[in-house]
Chain A
Amino acid sequence: MTGRGRYVADVTPPGTLHVALVTSPFPHARILDVDVNEALTSEGVVCVLTGAELAKATDPLRQYLDVPEVQWRPLAVDETRYAGEWVAAVVATSRALAEDGAELVVVDYDPLPHVLDPEAAALPDAPLVHPRHGTNVMAHREFRWGEVDADLVRAAGRTTTRSRWHRNSTVPLETFGVVASWDRGRDLLDIWASIQMPQFPEQVAGALRIASNRVRVHFDVDVGGSYGVKRGIKHAVLAAHLSRTLGAPVKFIEDRTENMHGGDFHGPDRIFDVELAYTAEGVFTHIRIDVVDDEGAFPGRSPLQLAKPIGAIVGPYRIPSATYHATAVTTNKTGQVAVRGFGQSPTNYAIEDAVDAVARELGMDRWELRRRNFIQPDQFPYRIPSGTEYDSGNYPAVLDKAVALADLPALTARRDALRAEGFAAGIGVATCLEPGGGNAIFENVMNPANDKTTFPESCRLRVDGTGQVTAIVALSSAGQSHDTMVATLVGEGLGRDPAGVEVVRADSLTGMPSQSPVGSRMTIVLGAAIAGACSELITRLQAIGAHRLGVGVEEVDYVDGDVVVTADRTQRVPWDELVATAHRKQHLMPAGAQPGLEVVHVAHTPRSGTLASPDGTVQLYPCYSFEAHVVLAVIDQGTGVVRLEDYNVAHDCGTVINPEVVRGMVYGGTAHGIGVALYERFAFSEEGQPLTQSFMDYLLPSAHEVPHIADVEHCTPSPYTSHGQKGAGEAGYMGAPAAVASAVNDALTAEGAHALHALPITPSDVLAALRGAHDRGGPQ
């Protein structure tokens, strides 16, 4: 706001050296030789590091699948596996000089056969991305839940759709960056990085073969957007190794091209085959989802994104049985990473695309079909066939609010008037879930060897000797307003003014367990930790107060900082006196009480703690937010350009802690979803070259493309969280891609064109569909 934020690019310790990269021009090639001699003579160049040298001193980066022959390293060793993969790092006294040096590194490659299409990659004769692994299929799981055969028999019809979610990502405005500084005297590694990554310190330490308490990650760095992708283990390992070797701080800030092609920050890239079975009345009886996900060259944590949607595999609908076949394959593209929603938004799109297709098949109103199949408010908690129990919700009421907000009859009249003027126009609807409060049990679902069942979050509360309250957390934030949330909940929990609560970020050595703000979990899990810490602190204060008042602890209450006798509220020990006693007056403290007022509470995720059954059933997420989108799309039939108007969202994330923050999340996620639906795609040529080289090719929606978005909130509290809250960090993004596609398809089908089932929907896709319809004789 004033230019005084501190992002990682702003951190430059004295003597800092800078990194630039040499990257592979081939999608798959053997590295025959790396000649660094000329680069080493270039002005300012300090060293050139090759993959072979780095591999001697470090271990491969962590995989979450059991794939020991898939070795993911910061710099390629022997082979490169995608165009843009890092081959060598040049270190110089400035970034510009490092780039000069990188241009002088000569790499001799022997190109190898490559594979880009994920379905082709899964075939037996496909070129292998990792030959020693023996197949490009990294994971294949088949699940079958409920009375599948009987549910198919009682169906009157089935509709199948093939929905394509092309490769995109969250693409934060700040690229990934890291500064590593190795203190040789103390044998301690300091890291400042733009991260949003669970277990970051442990994984960096593991790859560097050092003890995890030799790594100190600073969480007080502002992160310029992430939405899931800012993982950066390989960046940190590279910079840390260089700092250890060179004895100087080393800074690596990706440029935009490095970020887009070599950062391993792409998102899900999926082909869905969905079959919905239903009765003659349009009541769903079964859903089958087959999905192939293109992980790129290195799967890392990405295949786990196939497991999260198991926890919402039937969407908001009462579908008694489900079949799910999930396949993760590698191809010669940059690696995939966690993206906002961890696989849920693509799955929501596939489900909603299929629901719209059923409506067209049955000639039924899309709103009515959804209402007919919604889980009803009185059916919660509702166990879906894949084992998760949805906590609470009122889907019909939220859809009603969206319809009212949009003024659907008027919107329909406007759509029809636009059609009369010669535009193709359509109204889209999507009703989608946002699982919140991730506990990472999907690791166990995709790989039973991962037996992690908790994913904790912590808060330390400190009341100092003058009575000021400080809350300490140990995570970095990327704009999610965690400080506001923490101060609000601490203030309310202790009955103190939230404006006076200071929120501080500990580093990874002084801090408490945290799994970082992923999976829409901070208000839920950190919220639980805060509630626990407040409760423990109040217990301490009550013990002191009761002792001072000469009554039993059960005879007092805590009221806004004071301890009062329940039966006679005139008898009280005020806050200042409680604080003074705890810090300075042992003679007035109860025997055995610790001095000071400091508590730490570490909270499990609500409803966690259970391993998945062999059939994959488990409580995946503790709570489920819900959103309904209604949007008008207007298509220029001459250019195929889609313009969105009148975007409406009704949203239910239970108890709202801060309304401005929640609606900001809804708007931002919706804008991101609009990008996915209409603009954003990492494209590759048949030769494996990335075609999206800059923001002139990879299109981010601007104020011109994002219409005004209206949001209305509904509140169905969760019975399983400290304040009834649910997740909101992925709001908007859960439903926008599906809603925009629904609107475009309403417009196209009214013109007699086929519906489109691949995102992003480009002007050329629209024109081709319209041309096909006109060739067939126009609207039917």
Chain B
Amino acid sequence: MSSRHEIELVVNGEKRRCAVPGRTHLADLLRDELGLTGTHLGCEQGVCGACTILLDGEPVRSCIVLAAQVDGHAVTTIEGVSAPDGALSPVQEAFCHRHALQCGFCTPGMVLCAGALLDRVHHPTREQIDEALGGNICRCTGYVQIREAIEDVANSAAHHHAGGATVGAGEVR
């Protein structure tokens, strides 16, 4: 059917070796082979952003990245965002506090994008927030409470002092 590729990658801080068909995209590898079903597939056309993961710390859509392409790279999924003891990240806490999710389907991608933004820009403007979320569709919330959650994190003293570190207790950089 198609070629098979031996790949080695770091997923949520853990080294994984896999053999994947050349046509398998990263989202299917994460969901079907590694059991990380927090990565959701909304369109498989690279538009909706639900399948967003962090590839070496940058948000990418895992439905349009081939699994073979991530050989030697580090992937963070939503399962790697909270601490090993289950403690939520500041972004996750703020999403809960602000009711920034309803059905939850877009939430993993939103949380990862928001965290990546706050790691890069400690006090983002509204325009920077919209730019960071612009590729992630939410059909439930109208984005208002998601923006509020991100602003809450940016305005919190802990975020200020930590100088970021909103994502990835388990992330390998």
Binding site for B on A (CB under 8 A): 1-5, 7, 9-10, 43, 96-97, 100, 170-175, 222-227, 255-256, 478-481, 660-661, 663-664, 666-672, 694-696, 700, 702-704, 706, 708-709, 732
Contacts and interface: CB of A to CB of B under 8 A. Distances in A.
B135 interface: yes
B99 A225 contact: no
Interface in B152-166: none
Contacts of A175: 42
Contact of A3 (B101, B103, B108): B108
Interface of B: 1, 21, 23-24, 28, 31, 36-45, 47-48, 50, 77-79, 81-82, 86, 88, 92, 95-96, 98-99, 101-108, 111, 126, 129-130, 133-147
A173 B106 contact: yes
Contact of B104 (A479, A667, A695, A704): A479
A1 B111 contact: yes
Contacts of A663: 144-145
26 contacts: A1-B92, A1-B95, A1-B101, A2-B79, A3-B37, A3-B108, A7-B40, A9-B40, A96-B21, A96-B24, A97-B1, A170-B139, A173-B43, A174-B42, A225-B102, A225-B140, A227-B139, A256-B42, A667-B141, A668-B138, A668-B139, A669-B142, A695-B48, A696-B47, A703-B130, A703-B133
Secondary structure dominating the interface of B: loop
Identify which of B28, B137, B147 gathers the most chain A CB atoms within 10 Å of its CB. B137
Secondary structure dominating the interface of A: loop
B22 to A, nearest CB: 12
A667 B40 CA distance: 23
A700 B139 contact: yes
B107 A1 contact: yes
Contacts of B103: 172-174, 222-226, 478-479
Given A2-B78, A172-B103, A709-B144, A100 B42 contact: no
Contacts of B79: 2-4
Contact of A172 (B92, B105, B143): B105
Given A1-B95, A5-B104, A700-B137, A256 B44 contact: yes
Contacts of A732: 142
Nearest to A11: B37
A708 B1 contact: no
Contacts of B40: 7, 9, 173-174, 224
Identify which of B45, B92, B101, B144 gathers the most chain A CB atoms within 10 Å of its CB. B144
Contacts of B106: 173
Q: Which A-B residue pairs are the 9 nearest by beta carbons?
A: A3-B38, A479-B103, A224-B105, A479-B102, A667-B142, A671-B142, A3-B78, A695-B47, A660-B99
Contacts of A700: 48, 137, 139
B139 A173 contact: yes
Given A2-B81, A173-B137, A664 B143 contact: no
Given A224-B104, A256-B45, A671-B143, A660 B98 contact: yes
Given A702-B133, A709-B144, 6 more contacts: A96-B24, A173-B137, A479-B102, A696-B45, A703-B130, A703-B133
Contacts of B43: 173, 256, 694-695
B48 A667 contact: no
A172 B105 CA distance: 9
Nearest to B132: A703
A173 B42 contact: yes
B112 to A, nearest CB: 10
Contacts of A479: 101-104, 140
Contacts of B21: 96
B37 A173 contact: no
B140 to A, nearest CB: 5
Contacts of A226: 103
Identify which of A227, A668, A694 gathers the most chain B CB atoms within 10 Å of its CB. A668
B106 to A, nearest CB: 6
Nearest to A5: B104
A487 to B, nearest CB: 15
B104 A1 contact: yes
